[in-house]
Structure 1
Amino acid sequence: MIDVNNIKKSYKNFELDLSLKIQAGETVGIVGKNGSGKSTFFKALLDLVTLDQGKISIFGQSNRDLRNEDFEKIGVVFPDMGFNELMTINDISAILDALYHSFDKHDFLKKVQAFDLPTKTAIKTFSTGMRAKLKVLIALSHPSKLLILDEPTAGLDVVARKDILNLIRDFQEREEATVLISSHVSSDIETLCDRLILLHDGKILLEEDTDVILDTYALLKMTEEQFESIEKDYLQYIKKEAYYYKCLTNQKVFYKENYPHLVIDDMTIDGLLATIIEGERL
């Protein structure tokens, strides 16, 4: 589905430097702190930035050669709405009808109605939750095979976030539906994604199946004396706190069996990110 081959994009204080593959039918979470390169990567996929080096292929061809019919297979959600704030949903519906041969106006407006979104009111008056729902509905308004979501649930309350996640899950049910999603909400990644890619300063620090992270990774907490005596072959990152050490391992069972006196916390996405980004690699 997606093949990213040694791409580089340099800015004044930042360089994106990536290689990765994403198979059809996968849902992959792209995580990292602000400025890690997530949005730049998404824009590179859509050929919205000019690369300094490397190639990207989507649907088996260069992303630079994608035709209109190829873009009909891609749904995109960016933080920016992408439409004039004075437009109404009816205005947007007319534009989508002109842009996409496969746009189903009746189905789109039916879903808009189901979410209680006004069709004749300027979108500048919409709340954060209303905007988020509309952006996802627009991305799903044509039969896409690839969904690219940049922080689709940012700033949403629990109810609005649940609605968005249900839309994404419905899309995942489609044959070979592929999703790329970035999110600061770790539970979104844990529940939606097959695989996680951690970006930091434009580079991949970790690429792993989500189930493997949650099942086999752990955070060990120990005193300095314990740290000096422990087997370190299976430790990946260490973070020195004021009075103790935190260590990341992908061999939770080994340490549980051999060091039962240690504090061993099950892994969370937030804990993983903090330890890798703020810690020191062993």
Structure 2
Amino acid sequence: MSAILEVENLSKCFSGKKTVLRNVSFSIPRGTIAGFIGDNGAGKSTTMGAIIGTIRKDGGSVKIFGEEMDSNKSHLKEDIGAVFDQMHLPKQLNIKQLGNVFRLLYKNWDQNIFQYYITYFSLPKDKKIGDFSRGMSMKLSVAVALSHDAKLLLLDEATAGLDPLGRYDLLEVLKDFVADGQRSILLSSHITSDIETIADILIFIKSGSILLQISRETLMSRYAILECTYKEFEHIESSLVVGYQKKSDQVDVLVCDREQVPFTVARKDFSIDDVALLLMRGEHL
């Protein structure tokens, strides 16, 4: 399965020499949804900005469809739909007027598809965009991203501000988007239940470094979170330990192969949220 997006050794430092990204590497195959998981400030938005070129990278490579990304390559930009937490759509326009603007900006703009999503998301066509709620603005941004035949979507907190029904509708749209096996999505969200619902691949990032990239199926079927005594922890093979968090009377340990750990060691049922918390709050060998 070929990769639609390949990020290799991406690095970024801002003023004061603060390192925001440290050799970030991951890939997203065609037809998949990748969940991008990390705390605020972990580097998710900076990574997405560096991918599309709104943030200048200091090192590394970004390839889309096997071609090196460059801000001057308009044909690549046409194939990318981006939705960020703060979108700057013209506030004085309504949806009807906005559609006419984007028709001029994108060669592959499809007004019929745009109108379909406007209706699907129940957005008002005559109301000024500046008067939209946060949730309505996010839905509109997604509708725009879906209406110019993009092959790759970058969605940064796109479900934030949506009520449960709105989130459900959006997730259904995203699943349909990749159903043909030729499109992909990189989705960041603090709502890990959304990622758990639709993501095929999970990418965990902390302090600008990728901790783990893994398929959701492999994580849930092969990995385990152990509840060890300190003595048991000392005897676990270090190559199995992905991360651990010490507590007053035990150590929670994420291991990459549950079958290689003695069954006498206690295990807990876990979710992606549990894995994220352990990786973000814990330590690594």
Question: Which secondary structure does the structure 1 equivalent of 2:70 belong to?
Answer: helix
- Residue pair 2:64, 2:76 contacting (<8 A) in 1 also: no
Q: 1:200 aligns with which of 206, 222, 243?
A: 206
Q: For structure 2, list consecutive stretches of 5 or more residues without a partner in the other structure.
A: none
Q: Which residue identity is paired with 2:50?
A: A
TM-score (norm 2): 0.89
TM-score (norm 1): 0.90
For 1:281, the equivalent position in structure 2 comes to 284
- Residue pair 1:72, 1:144 contacting (<8 A) in 2 also: yes
Q: Which residue identity is paired with 2:9?
A: N
Distance 1:225 1:58 in 2: 47
Compute the displacement of 1:106 (Å).
Answer: 2.5
Q: 1:80 aligns with which of 79, 82, 86?
A: 86
For 2:254, the equivalent position in structure 1 comes to 248
For 2:21, the equivalent position in structure 1 comes to 16
Is 1:153 equivalent to 2:159 in the alignment?
yes
Compute the displacement of 1:55 (Å).
Answer: 2.5
Distance 1:223 1:126 in 2: 53
- Residue pair 2:26, 2:213 contacting (<8 A) in 1 also: no
For 1:173, the equivalent position in structure 2 comes to 179
Identity of aligned residues (%): 33
Q: 1:105 aligns with which of 95, 107, 111?
A: 111
Distance 1:114 1:22 in 2: 28
CA RMSD in angstroms comes to 2.0
CA deviation vs aligned residue, 1:102-127 (integer Å, no higher than 9, x gap)? 21212312331232211110122222
Q: Which residue identity is paired with 1:30?
A: F
For 1:94, the equivalent position in structure 2 comes to 100
CA deviation vs aligned residue, 1:16-62 (integer Å, no higher than 9, x gap)? 12233333323222111110111001010111122222222222322
Compute the displacement of 1:136 (Å).
Answer: 0.9
Distance 1:6 1:280 in 2: 22
CA deviation vs aligned residue, 1:180-205 (integer Å, no higher than 9, x gap)? 11111212222222211111111111
- Residue pair 1:148, 1:181 contacting (<8 A) in 2 also: yes
Give the alignment of 1:1-282 within 5 angstroms. Answer: 1-11=4-14, 12=16, 13-17=18-22, 18-64=24-70, 67-227=73-233, 230-233=235-238, 234-255=240-261, 258-260=262-264, 262-282=265-285
Q: For structure 1, list consecutive stretches of 5 or more residues without a partner in the other structure.
A: none
Deviates more, 1:163-172 or 1:123-132: 123-132
Alpha carbons of structure 1 residues 270 and 82: separation in structure 2 relative to 1, 3 Å: same
Distance 2:284 2:68 in 1: 36
